[in-house]
Structure 1
């Protein structure tokens, strides 16, 4: 029971309407209302709202007992100005759906249409529209929400479109799929002074100069094999923008990344200890804060086998190219609650990269993604 041509036309317009009005992590109230409105004609048995923030979950019950299967998409956009002449380009300055979450959520709306026409034979399907994926806060908030206990899944699946892969081809593999990562802000505080008498103050400049290469050396990158670690300097600031003041404070931001959660913990410990040592030697105070924490995403072998059967049944080509990925994905947290797997769905070799200002989700992926998830649900729930 595929989507009809009429469905695809309406879903394409719906995706483009989401694209016009992007909302950032934690601000997705309007997007959530648009999703709720699109779900209403599908008459889910339950719609859970304000889940972990602005999250929405649509539940379709089967007639008999069985497993709960969760399919997840994301609601949020990015704080990036869209550069495009598309008629449906972002209408919100400085914000854009430049990762494809508008398309992922539209696929789930398409799936809701198919479930409305034929409910699962057993168990239940849960379509989760998750908030705040881009900053790593959303999945944890959803899982911690008391409402989640009533829809806790046995299986969880997700997709992400992937530029560079052939359009509509799937990449899927057991084991590590996405790296763990965390943003670390290091604040060094000394004492400002007049630029003519810098010895009267305590400047963070020498410590900062030593920390930049030393921190990078802790995570040199390389092949995505066990033990992979990467430390990426993303922002540095020091002192005031004035010629008459010797600096007394500095901030260094870096993203730490590893293939496994334990390796990320070790990398984080090494970075903070190195900063403490340099600060003490320079007579500086040091403080730390962590941001955008993503756990590693690892695909369960049984969940991968379910997806592979669905892909083969639908005649959709697949391999393990581009896996694992250096990029992080908030879906990893669901692996602690269910047998879970995420696959990549090719956006085409000529597609701009994710988070580029000219990226746009290919509408031709809407029926393909819907088919894959629908077959997965039919295989597990009948």
Structure 2
């Protein structure tokens, strides 16, 4: 990548970093991306895809496959704690997951495609909304406009702290876990706190559920994880015995089927405890992520690209515990999600001190460009 292109992408990344927007609210971010692409000869631009999403299509002259390269538009509801001149201007919001860097990489791919379009097939650059909540990929796929760009292959990367800079982290099959947010609501009966025996407090049941849910994976044959992330008992009123309680937990597994089985067991467990204490129980679910599976053929394109570029490659054996909604594309498309090492000393993702290293931009662009070369030239 020449100095001019790198400077342009680095400046753009820092601009995106200053104005993060939360999932589903990325209107200004989408406008900035659209403005970046205004001088790039795109064959087709799709706006408002799955909400605020954008897709830029580059057509080849000969028939061939459709490949999709995806990045994320959204930031996080986390206050940034960096000492940098381009600190987030949006209070309580930040790009401490590196989506600003991922957008810069896909934008860099746009610059390359402006110089050399695909010879055959077509390349789609997707800027997807709402990855952090697990809603964006589903919204894009459900959008009728997506049918016009449905891909044969889909590729994405995620920067990974605690791995060497520029290292490619790759795996066939399951790569990132399936997960879901579970909300357990218990309903008992309020009473005066001077007469707790007249009511039915869910306090003990809630305590048991918190402990039991986190121990539930011990009974599972395959890897699962339950993390209780929030609990609430009644309201702050010293004269009243609580009548309601809520427990929230994230349930994870390497496969969608195992996650669903874990949900079934968790519901039975909570139901039994609620019954023991004479309480009503109900369940809600949010932030559902499908497992991300790397197709062997798509994996081969990525692995070959890393070899051609002479990049250090780590072939991991165990899937990552975190989730990525890119997994939804896996059900209908040959997908590859790989990691790009962002430094051994880099703060972890979602930590307030995280900042995407600009020197990764050319590496990400080169990886995707090599894949395009194999598929479209």
Q: TM-score range by the shorter chain?
A: over 0.9
- Partner residue, 2:300: 305
Deviations 1:94-120 (A, max 9, x none): 100010000001101000000011110
Q: TM-score when scaled to structure 2?
A: 0.98
Once the two structures are overlaid, the 10-residue window that deviates more, 108-117 or 323-332, is 323-332
- What is the CA-CA distance between 1:214 and the residue it aligns to? 1.2
Instruction: Give the Cα–Cα distance (whole angstroms) in 1 for the partners of residues 154 and 257 of structure 2.
Output: 23
Instruction: Give the Cα–Cα distance (whole angstroms) in 2 for the partners of residues 170 and 332 of structure 1.
Output: 19
Instruction: Give the Cα–Cα distance (whole angstroms) in 1 for the partners of residues 271 and 250 of structure 2.
Output: 18
Q: TM-score when scaled to structure 1?
A: 0.97
SS of 2:342's equivalent in the other structure is strand
1:191-340 correspondence to structure 2 within 5 Å:
191-220=189-218, 227-321=222-316, 323-340=318-335
**Does the aligned pair in 2 maintain the 1:234–1:254 contact within 8 Å?**
yes
2:155 pairs with 1:157 = yes
**Does the aligned pair in 2 maintain the 1:28–1:76 contact within 8 Å?**
yes
Instruction: Give the Cα–Cα distance (whole angstroms) in 2 for the partners of residues 197 and 279 of structure 1.
Output: 22
Residues 173 and 184 of structure 1: CA distance in aligned 2, closer, same or farther (over 3 Å):
same
2:109 pairs with 1:114 = no
**Does the aligned pair in 2 maintain the 1:170–1:345 contact within 8 Å?**
yes
**Does the aligned pair in 2 maintain the 1:219–1:256 contact within 8 Å?**
no
Deviations 1:65-101 (A, max 9, x none): 0000000100000000000111001011110001000
**Does the aligned pair in 1 maintain the 2:17–2:88 contact within 8 Å?**
yes
The Cα RMSD (Å) is 1.2
- Partner residue, 1:49: 47
Deviations 1:122-150 (A, max 9, x none): 00000000000000000011011000000
**Does the aligned pair in 1 maintain the 2:183–2:284 contact within 8 Å?**
yes
**Does the aligned pair in 2 maintain the 1:152–1:337 contact within 8 Å?**
no
- What is the CA-CA distance between 1:221 and the residue it aligns to? 10
SS of 1:219's equivalent in the other structure is helix
Structure 1 portions without partners, runs of 5+: none
SS of 1:348's equivalent in the other structure is coil
- Partner residue, 2:13: 15
> For 1:74, which of 57, 72, 75 is the aligned residue?
72
Instruction: Give the Cα–Cα distance (whole angstroms) in 1 for the partners of residues 110 and 219 of structure 2.
Output: 41
- What is the CA-CA distance between 1:241 and the residue it aligns to? 1.4
Residues 170 and 323 of structure 1: CA distance in aligned 2, closer, same or farther (over 3 Å):
farther
**Does the aligned pair in 2 maintain the 1:221–1:228 contact within 8 Å?**
no
SS of 2:86's equivalent in the other structure is coil
**Does the aligned pair in 1 maintain the 2:171–2:317 contact within 8 Å?**
no
- What is the CA-CA distance between 1:323 and the residue it aligns to? 4.5
Deviations 1:33-54 (A, max 9, x none): 1111111111210011100110
* Number of residue pairs matched by the alignment: 377
Instruction: Give the Cα–Cα distance (whole angstroms) in 1 for the partners of residues 39 and 310 of structure 2.
Output: 30
- What is the CA-CA distance between 1:220 and the residue it aligns to? 4.4
- What is the CA-CA distance between 1:219 and the residue it aligns to? 2.1
- Partner residue, 1:28: 26
- What is the CA-CA distance between 1:153 and the residue it aligns to? 0.3
Deviations 1:181-225 (A, max 9, x none): 000000101111111100111100121122111111112499xxx
Instruction: Give the Cα–Cα distance (whole angstroms) in 1 for the partners of residues 274 and 359 of structure 2.
Output: 54
**Does the aligned pair in 1 maintain the 2:69–2:126 contact within 8 Å?**
yes
Residues 304 and 221 of structure 1: CA distance in aligned 2, closer, same or farther (over 3 Å):
farther
Instruction: Give the Cα–Cα distance (whole angstroms) in 2 for the partners of residues 221 and 98 of structure 1.
Output: 35
- What is the CA-CA distance between 1:322 and the residue it aligns to? 7.6
